[in-house]
Structure 1
Amino acid sequence: MLSIRVFLQKLLILLHVTLCVIVGKTLMVLFPNAMKRYILKLGAKSRMNENPKFSYENWGPTFFSFKYLLFVLKVKWKRLEDEAYEGHPAPNTPVVTLNGEVRHLLDFMQDNRPLILNFGSYFSSTADFLIIYIEEAHAIDGWAFKNNVIIKNHRSLEDRKMAAQFLQKNNPLCPVVLDTMENLSSAKYAALPERLYLLQGGKVVYKGGAGPWNYHPQEIRAILEKMKSEMEGTSE
């Protein structure tokens, strides 16, 4: 019964996404300037427009392509496996350190300190941070953007480790771990292409919106500032 329900859900998603892509592509052909303004408005929500090395021509025209369709389908189908809900126990999925050690997400929690999961940050006095490197959103052999970092889809854990080392070189100031090749963390946290979570006491306290349009680090900042002020008020 469950498999039939999932199949029907995936079928409905397939029909909906395909229709949206067909309509979007048609509108881009008929009304290119209006669609450009619309896509740039979306880009502003994720601050993509603020990167001077990443112009609209690098990413805008890739919308509503066949590879775009495949990527959106993968994201929406993956979200059917979501098991992370606010107020509920956090999925303790396995991850792999850059040294090859298999650990679990909750291993990185220290007592009752909040843990910020940044699916793709730094340490603070209020919370700990952890970056989970997941599958590539815009690999060159997938839905690729121009003028982007050249990384292929990961075929092995070693591929994922090599890709994560690009991030490590930028000194993220917090631990970086790898999702397994089964993409368990990405699936159970519905994290593709990017997402923020706040865990505390083994539960999901905050579940951010799915990126890139609804990825808002300032919401995490507001929560941490509130926690810090409450801690300071208690200590007085």
Structure 2
Amino acid sequence: MGMASEDLLVTLQILPGFFSNCLFLALYDSVVLVKRAVSRLSCSRSAGSGEWRRMLTSAGLRAIWKGFLLDAYKQVKLGLEAPNSKVVKVPDSPRWSSNLSSLTNVPPGAMTADEDECHLLDFVTHLPAFRQLVEDFSDVADFLLVYIDEAHPSDGWVAPSVDSCSFDVPKHQNLEERLGAARKLTEHFSLPPQCQLVADCMDNNANVAYGVSNERVCIVKQRKIAYLGGKGPFFYNLKDVQQWLEQSYGKRLSRMYTEKDKSHISIRK
């Protein structure tokens, strides 16, 4: 009875956010539908052409609900010890086999006793912005990019293409497919060498432990969660992560300065 009551309480807590997400998707679909109708009335074939992919679908509802459940039952808690999940290192070689991959842990260095360690774990899709964060703070933090289950697989809940960098990735059926998808994504965006790339195991244990679903950032310091980012995509905020790092380790040089300008500027922590 106690477990049933707890599940009911979690469900009641989830419902407001779930319905707000559904409302957002309904509004999004409505706006797209109106735009297409206006384009056709104005005889603009190019603007009204193309496949219309609705976001508010049965697959979308299931994915949203699953995401809220993952967040509600996540193991990770601010200030507590970071969950030591199993992940798989993504091989660097273009020709690889899944049996050549090795297991590691999240967070990295979890078994060490380094009191000054700082690890930033990113379950991320915004790679260009993440890349800049790695380049700015790799001298004070270890970065680990964790590739998880596809939020919008091409054979499931498909998201509309927003740019030319969109990828068609089907739902991962095995570890080899997941590692291949991770390599394809990061090769396109050229992940910085200072960041290690790993993939969640097929049991999705890291995804479950950290309650990711879409994307999330965690910072581990002295084996404990020092920063816990919000649930993506709406509460995923790399600017907030940057602010935390700047407060802890000092601000970096502004990107507006050229290399020549940097030689005349000093920053103290």
Q: Is the 8 A contact 1:59 1:145 kept in 2?
A: no
Structure 2 residues without counterparts, runs of 5 or longer: 36-46, 92-100, 125-129, 252-266
Off by >4 Å, runs of 4+ in structure 1: 9-29, 33-37, 57-61, 230-233
Structure (1/2) with the larger helix percentage: 1
Q: Is the 8 A contact 1:62 1:143 kept in 2?
A: no
Report how far residue 162 of structure 1 moved.
0.9
Which protein shows a greater Rg? 2
Report how far residue 225 of structure 1 moved.
1.3
What CA distance in whole angstroms lies between the structure 1 residues aligned with 2:64 and 2:51?
15
Q: For 1:198-217, what aligned pairs fall within 5 Å after superposition?
A: 198-217=219-238
* Residue type at the aligned position of 1:4: A
1:118 aligned residue (122, 139, 143): 122
* Residue type at the aligned position of 1:209: G
When residues 33 and 103 of structure 1 are mapped into structure 2, their CA distance, relative to the original with a 3 A threshold, is closer
TM-score, scaled relative to structure 2? 0.67
What CA distance in whole angstroms lies between the structure 1 residues aligned with 2:221 and 2:148?
22
When residues 165 and 22 of structure 1 are mapped into structure 2, their CA distance, relative to the original with a 3 A threshold, is closer
Partner-residue secondary structure (3-state), 1:154: coil
For each residue in 1:112-163, what CA deviation from the matched residue of structure 2 results, as whole angstroms up to 9, or x when unmatched?
2211111034251121110000000110111102333110111111111011
* Residue type at the aligned position of 2:60: Y
Match of 1:107 in 2: 108
Match of 1:171 in 2: 190
What CA distance in whole angstroms lies between the structure 1 residues aligned with 2:51 and 2:237?
21
Q: Is the 8 A contact 1:113 1:127 kept in 2?
A: yes
Match of 1:76 in 2: 68
Report how far residue 229 of structure 1 moved.
2.8
When residues 192 and 21 of structure 1 are mapped into structure 2, their CA distance, relative to the original with a 3 A threshold, is closer
What CA distance in whole angstroms lies between the structure 2 residues aligned with 1:26 and 1:194?
22
Q: Is the 8 A contact 2:119 2:142 kept in 1?
A: yes
Match of 1:186 in 2: 207
When residues 164 and 4 of structure 1 are mapped into structure 2, their CA distance, relative to the original with a 3 A threshold, is same
Partner-residue secondary structure (3-state), 2:177: helix
Match of 2:42 in 1: none
What CA distance in whole angstroms lies between the structure 1 residues aligned with 2:75 and 2:50?
34
When residues 176 and 2 of structure 1 are mapped into structure 2, their CA distance, relative to the original with a 3 A threshold, is farther
Q: Is the 8 A contact 1:126 1:227 kept in 2?
A: no
Q: For 1:6-155, what aligned pairs fall within 5 Å after superposition?
A: 7-8=7-8, 12=12, 32-33=30-31, 62-99=54-91, 100-108=101-109, 111=114, 112-120=116-124, 121=130, 122=134, 124-147=138-161, 148-155=166-173
Report how far residue 175 of structure 1 moved.
0.7
* Residue type at the aligned position of 2:106: L
Report how far residue 13 of structure 1 moved.
7.4
Report how far residue 103 of structure 1 moved.
1.1
Tell me how large the CA RMSD over aligned residues is: 3.5
When residues 182 and 10 of structure 1 are mapped into structure 2, their CA distance, relative to the original with a 3 A threshold, is farther
When the two structures are aligned, how many residues end up with a matched partner?
Answer: 213
Match of 1:43 in 2: none
What CA distance in whole angstroms lies between the structure 1 residues aligned with 2:18 and 2:82?
33
Residue 4 (str. 1) matches residue 25 (str. 2) = no
Query: Structure 1 vs Structure 2: percent identity of aligned residues?
Result: 25
Q: Is the 8 A contact 2:230 2:236 kept in 1?
A: yes
Report how far residue 59 of structure 1 moved.
11
Match of 2:254 in 1: none
Report how far residue 4 of structure 1 moved.
2.5
Answer with 115-124 or 206-215: which moved more.
115-124
TM-score, scaled relative to structure 1? 0.75
Q: For 1:215-234, what aligned pairs fall within 5 Å after superposition?
A: 215-229=236-250, 232-233=268-269
Answer with 220-229 or 107-116: which moved more.
107-116
